[in-house]
């Protein structure tokens, strides 16, 4: 996601400086939008960037829930450069480097799920950022941010799809081998029904995500379609994990089996990159606005 923002919005000099290490995997990137008091309402951010006498920017404030924050070498960070104008004109994107004076990471957050992905708070205390590290242009941060959100939602929709397949990979063999009442529980129609729903939801999600991805590859990424992909995939993944737990019964509820982790991991996709509620608002608004223009 960090790389996508740089590819789409950075200058040639910035691309040459940051992309090689990020693309090769020698460096890890991060994207920092959210703050303790601005999650879904991202443009209400309070991280402040003020110009000093040298023409550089001094950042003060914090960012929260930042994936890869503890290990990132290059970070795309959004801050308010002019709080007196409309948010779409008062936010700027910056390229922040690990080790910049005044920039630090706080404690790694102890999350419910996705525990293999480091997440933390970012702190900026009189952090001086060169003017050359502005990405896009001053006041164009909202444009930079929004230009990548559709792709972010689409890319992330592959995660819950993988989790749904993982749920099937656990539940189907278990149903075929776990014996109750003298026969495998997979012989019972209620269990077969759950497996059928999990399979159908996984197939439908794979088709939707694949179709939207094909559109994006052809340069026709549609905002509501990208939102629909992650909305559907995330909620179906949570349901698949719950069904897998139910099929495994008591074993599904203990940590020796992976189903609990799959549920905890799946739930994040209903929250990150815009909550399910925000996605529904976006889709509904776009549909109504399109109808009003006809």
| Residue-by-residue pLDDT tens, the chain, 294 positions | 899 999 999 999 999 999 999 999 999 999 999 999 888 888 899 999 999 999 999 999 999 999 999 999 999 999 999 999 987 889 999 999 999 999 999 989 999 999 999 999 999 999 999 999 999 999 999 999 888 888 889 999 999 999 999 999 999 999 999 999 999 999 999 999 999 999 999 999 999 999 999 999 998 889 999 999 999 999 999 999 999 999 999 999 999 999 999 999 999 999 988 899 999 999 999 999 999 998
Give the pLDDT score at 261: 98
DSSP string, 154-190: HHHTHHHHHHHHHHHHHHHHHHHH-EETTEEGGGSHH
CA dist., res. 20 & res. 35, Å (int): 29
Chain center to CA of 210: 18
CATH (domain of 220) = 1.20.140.10
**Strands, E, within the chain: which ranges?**
29-32, 48-51, 57-67, 74-80, 91-97, 103-108, 119-129, 134-135, 179-180, 183-184
- Claim to verify: residue 63 and residue 188 sit in the same structural domain: no
Give the pLDDT score at 131: 97
What is the domain count for the chain? 2
> CA dist 143 to 9, 24, 134, 175, 251, Å?
9, 27, 13, 50, 48
- Claim to verify: residue 96 and residue 9 sit in the same structural domain: yes
Q: Give the catalytic positions in this structure.
A: 152
Q: What are phi and psi of 283, to 5 degrees?
A: -65, -50
For residues 236 and 279, is the Cβ–Cβ distance under 8 A? no
CA dist., res. 20 & res. 135, Å (int): 17
53's tokens: 């006498």
Task: Note whether residue 149 is domain-resident.
Answer: no
- Claim to verify: residue 169 and residue 269 sit in the same structural domain: yes
Task: Note whether residue 60 is domain-resident.
Answer: yes
- Domain of residue 40: give its range: 2-142
For residues 196 and 259, is the Cβ–Cβ distance under 8 A? no
Give the pLDDT score at 117: 93
Whose CA is closest to 93, among 19, 9, 3? 9
Task: Note whether residue 151 is domain-resident.
Answer: no
Whose CA is closest to 207, among 161, 248, 268? 161
Whose CA is closest to 94, among 66, 70, 127? 127
> CA dist 126 to 44, 56, 103, Å?
20, 12, 8
- Claim to verify: residue 207 and residue 130 sit in the same structural domain: no
Give the pLDDT score at 221: 86
């Amino acid at each position: 996601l960090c790389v996508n923002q740089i590819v789409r919005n950075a200058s040639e000099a910035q691309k040459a400086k940051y992309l090689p290490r990020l693309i090769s995997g020698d460096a890890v990137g991060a994207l920092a939008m959210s703050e303790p008091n601005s999650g879904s309402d991202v443009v209400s951010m309070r991280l402040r960037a003020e110009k000093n006498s040298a023409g550089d920017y001094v950042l003060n404030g914090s960012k929260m829930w930042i994936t890869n924050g503890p290990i990132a070498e290059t970070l795309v960070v959004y801050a308010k450069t002019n709080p007196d104008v409309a948010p779409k004109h008062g936010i700027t994107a910056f390229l922040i480097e690990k080790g910049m004076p005044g920039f630090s990471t706080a404690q790694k957050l102890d999350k419910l799920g996705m525990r293999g992905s480091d997440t933390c708070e970012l702190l900026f205390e009189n952090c001086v950022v060169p003017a050359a590290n502005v990405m896009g242009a001053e006041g164009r941060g909202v444009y930079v941010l929004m230009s990548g959100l559709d792709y972010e939602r689409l890319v992330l929709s592959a995660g819950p799809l993988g989790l749904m397949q993982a749920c099937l990979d656990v539940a189907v063999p278990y149903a075929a081998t776990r014996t109750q009442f003298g026969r495998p529980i997979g012989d019972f129609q209620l269990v077969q029904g759950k497996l059928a729903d999990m399979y159908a939801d996984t197939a439908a999600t794979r088709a939707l995500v694949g179709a939207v991805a094909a559109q994006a590859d052809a340069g026709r990424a549609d905002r509501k379609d990208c939102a629909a992909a992650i909305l559907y995939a995330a909620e179906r993944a949570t349901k698949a994990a719950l069904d897998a737990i139910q099929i495994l019964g008591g074993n599904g509820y203990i940590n020796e089996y992976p189903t609990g982790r799959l549920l905890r991991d799946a739930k994040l996709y209903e929250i990150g990159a815009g909550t399910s509620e925000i996605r529904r608002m976006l889709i509904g608004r776009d549909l109504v606005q399109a109808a009003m223009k006809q």
